[in-house]
């Protein structure tokens, strides 16, 4: 819980300071200032995960986000997890609907995350007699997903930047679930390895 | 900015509370290492013990028949044939899975295996394997199955299931818990026979070498022990490696598409059959 409060606190501070910067100095935003904030639940990256990121490409079809997730001890069988995630999402289409709404009917994404929890028995620990005793990492996961996003435009900021709030979903899986399914076409089904993530994003 | 920010917060809070409300939904996974499971898929050892307590011995007499399989790790295609073969065995009282239920120590893997094994006509019991210890597996195992060391008595036979995955604890000299094992073996009230079950056998390199002798001695001192059953090495074998009249049986892995059918009677009489499926 302590981590969560700290994290929410940082997020609030950061969002309000960037809001301040916008109204006080209507100069172009510095390159490193994030373009959106994101908050997500589930999808294997936390009960709640929050972060920030950039929208890239000439057609603004790529989102790159960094998130910090939190899983309370109640769900880990001991101490809480912090999960650090990097995510890339590609949206091939963007459909304007009415005046202030837009829909990305399909998004495709990749993510990787790291769970540095002391709860996790490391598969690469020295206690194993040889390298690749266990071939996978117990703290680093790779994931893939597809999803969709619905956004509503907000009034433009004072310095003329378009702003938007949107909700998204991501249906995905991770490397270990995928390698469980691959050799087991009869014993497991795709539905059993899926995870769902739901989130909101604010472009500002 | 104030208004959108507040609506952002409100959205976030709504989202978080919605997540809490629907946290029983399996799709909404917080981490593959989380240990959440619906009630029906938790505490399975206790649930199966309750089922067993309601079940009269199918042989109707002193004879007890049970099956032993192990290492189901990532062999989901083999589980349906295993279950249908086991369900055809006459007079079968229970099934034991000798560890490595999961490959990666993930709760969802354990629940996939349970999804298959719950189709068994009889209760099944597991002992933890080394793969079930990886990542957050130990916590997931405890949530989904139950205690790492436990025993129960059925048809005059005391089954003692011990965590022997010493390497997973860095050979800390505590696993297996030999004093606990001795205590279980010494408690012979209403017990005609004893069966010891573990994942890593004491003659394997993943067993804590500082405890091999004391484990073997504890078994040798047990008054009513029929044999020790283990998994891990994926190779069937029957031996008495310590020349102390204690029989160690290594079972088949699920991948090998065979299991052991064990029929016990009298004090230490038993019949061992390998069943292919």
Nearest-angstrom CA–CA distance, B55 and B51: 7
Here the ipTM equals: 0.89
Alpha helices in B118-168 (DSSP H): 137-144
The pLDDT value recorded for residue B24 is 53
Strands B124-126 and B92-97: parallel
CA angle B118, B123, B129 (to 5 degrees): 80
Beta strands in chain A (DSSP E): 36-42, 48-56, 62-71, 81-90, 95-97, 101-114, 140-154, 163-174, 195-203
Residue of B36, B135, B208 to mutate for A, most A C-beta atoms under 10 A? B135
The pLDDT value recorded for residue B102 is 98
The pLDDT value recorded for residue B12 is 65
B:99-158 residues touching chain A, CB 8 A cutoff: 103-106, 108-109, 112, 116, 131, 133-140, 142-143
Query: CA distances (Å), A84 to each of A12, A46, A54, in order?
Result: 19, 9, 17
Strands B150-154 and A195-203: unpaired
The pLDDT value recorded for residue A159 is 79
Cα–Cα nearest to A121, from B171, B133, B200: B133
Q: Which of A120, A125, A198 sits opposite B15 (nearest CB)?
A: A198
- HEC string for B194-214: EEEEECCCCCCCCCCHHHHHH
The pLDDT value recorded for residue A9 is 53
The domain limits of chain B are: 1-30, 35-276
Tell me the pLDDT tens digit for each residue of B204-253: 999 999 999 999 999 999 999 999 999 999 999 999 999 999 999 999 99
Q: Whats the size of chain A, residue-wise?
A: 204
Q: Quick one: how far is CA A30 from the chain centroid?
A: 23
Interface check for B191 against chain A (CB to CB < 8 A): the answer is no
Q: Quick one: how far is CA A13 from the chain centroid?
A: 20
> Could you list the pLDDT tens digit for every one of the 204 residues in chain A?
445 455 455 544 454 444 444 444 445 778 889 999 999 999 999 999 999 999 999 888 999 999 999 999 999 999 999 999 999 999 999 998 888 999 999 999 999 999 999 999 999 999 999 999 999 999 999 999 999 999 999 998 887 888 999 999 999 999 999 999 999 999 999 999 999 999 999 998
Contact B70, B99 (CB under 8 A): yes
Alpha helices in chain B (DSSP H): 2-21, 44-54, 79-86, 107-117, 137-144, 178-186, 212-221
Residue A78: count other Cβ atoms within 10 Å of its Cβ.
15
Nearest-angstrom CA–CA distance, A146 and A196: 10
What is the H or E stretch that residue B153 is in? strand B150-154
Interface check for A128 against chain B (CB to CB < 8 A): the answer is yes
Cα–Cα nearest to B45, from B148, B132, B116, B131: B148
Per CATH, domain B35-276 is 3.60.21.10: yes
Q: Which of B20, B80, B105 sits opposite A138 (nearest CB)?
A: B105
Residue with tokens 């055809």: B88
Contact A146, A107 (CB under 8 A): yes
Nearest-angstrom CA–CA distance, A34 and A30: 9
CB contact under 8 A, A185 and B77: yes
DSSP state of B64: E
CB contact under 8 A, A121 and B135: yes
Contacts of B112 (CB under 8 A, 6+ apart): A180, A188, A192, B76
Our CA-based measurement puts residue A140 at a distance from the nearest CA of chain B, in whole angstroms, of: 10
Return the number of CB contacts < 8 Å for A and B.
172
CB contacts of A136 in chain B (<8 Å) are: 104
Strands A36-42 and A62-71: unpaired
DSSP state of A29: P
The pLDDT value recorded for residue A22 is 47
> Could you list the pLDDT tens digit for every one of the 277 residues in chain B?
445 566 666 666 676 666 555 555 789 999 999 999 999 999 999 999 999 999 999 999 999 999 999 999 999 999 999 999 999 999 999 999 999 999 999 999 999 999 999 999 999 999 999 999 999 999 999 999 999 999 999 999 999 999 999 999 999 999 999 999 999 999 999 999 999 999 999 999 999 999 999 999 999 999 999 999 999 999 999 999 999 999 999 999 999 999 999 999 999 999 999 999 9
């Amino acid at each position: 819980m302590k981590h969560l409060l700290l994290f929410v606190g940082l997020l609030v501070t950061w969002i309000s300071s960037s809001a301040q910067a916008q109204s006080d100095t209507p100069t172009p935003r510095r390159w490193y200032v994030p373009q959106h904030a994101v908050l997500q639940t589930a999808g294997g990256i936390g009960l709640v995960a929050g972060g920030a990121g950039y929208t890239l490409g000439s057609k603004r079809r790529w989102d790159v986000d960094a998130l910090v997730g939190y899983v309370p001890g109640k769900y880990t069988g001991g101490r809480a997890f912090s999960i650090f995630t990097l995510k890339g999402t590609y949206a091939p289409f963007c459909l304007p609907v009415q005046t202030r709404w837009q829909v990305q009917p399909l998004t495709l994404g990749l993510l990787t995350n790291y769970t540095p929890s002391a709860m996790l028995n490391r598969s690469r620990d020295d206690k194993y007699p040889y390298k690749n005793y266990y071939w996978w990492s117990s703290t680093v996961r790779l994931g893939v997903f597809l999803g969709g996003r619905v956004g509503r435009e907000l009034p433009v900021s004072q310095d003329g930047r378009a702003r938007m709030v949107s909700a998204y979903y991501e249906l995905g899986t991770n490397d270990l679930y995928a390698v469980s399914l691959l050799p087991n076409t009869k014993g497991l089904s795709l539905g059993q390895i899926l995870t769902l993530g739901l989130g909101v994003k604010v472009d500002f | 900015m104030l208004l959108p920010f507040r609506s952002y917060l409100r959205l976030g809070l709504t989202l978080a509370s919605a997540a809490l409300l629907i946290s029983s939904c399996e799709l909404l996974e917080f981490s593959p290492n989380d240990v959440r499971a619906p009630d029906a898929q938790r505490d399975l050892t206790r649930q199966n013990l309750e089922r067993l307590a309601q079940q009269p011995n199918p042989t109707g007499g002193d004879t007890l028949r049970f099956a032993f399989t192990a290492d189901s790790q990532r062999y989901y295609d083999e589980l349906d044939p295993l279950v249908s073969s086991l369900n055809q065995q006459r007079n079968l009282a229970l099934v034991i899975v000798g560890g490595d239920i999961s490959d990666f120590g993930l709760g969802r893997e354990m629940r996939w295996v349970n999804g298959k094994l719950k189709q068994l006509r009889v209760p099944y019991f597991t002992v933890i394997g080394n793969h079930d210890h990886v990542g957050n597996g130990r916590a997931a195992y405890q949530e989904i199955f139950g205690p790492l060391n436990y025993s129960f008595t059925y048809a005059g036979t005391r089954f003692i299931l011990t965590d022997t995955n010493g390497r997973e604890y860095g050979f800390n000299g505590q696993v297996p818990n030999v004093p606990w094992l001795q205590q279980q073996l010494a408690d012979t009230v209403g017990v005609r026979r004893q069966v010891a079950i573990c994942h890593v056998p004491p003659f394997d390199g993943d067993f804590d070498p500082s405890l091999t002798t004391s484990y073997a001695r504890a078994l040798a001192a047990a008054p009513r022990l029929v044999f020790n059953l283990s998994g891990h090495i994926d190779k069937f074998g029957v031996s008495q490696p310590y020349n102390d009249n204690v029989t160690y049986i290594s079972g088949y892995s699920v991948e090998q598409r065979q299991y052991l059918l064990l029929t016990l009677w009298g004090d230490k009489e038993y019949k061992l059959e390998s069943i292919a499926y």
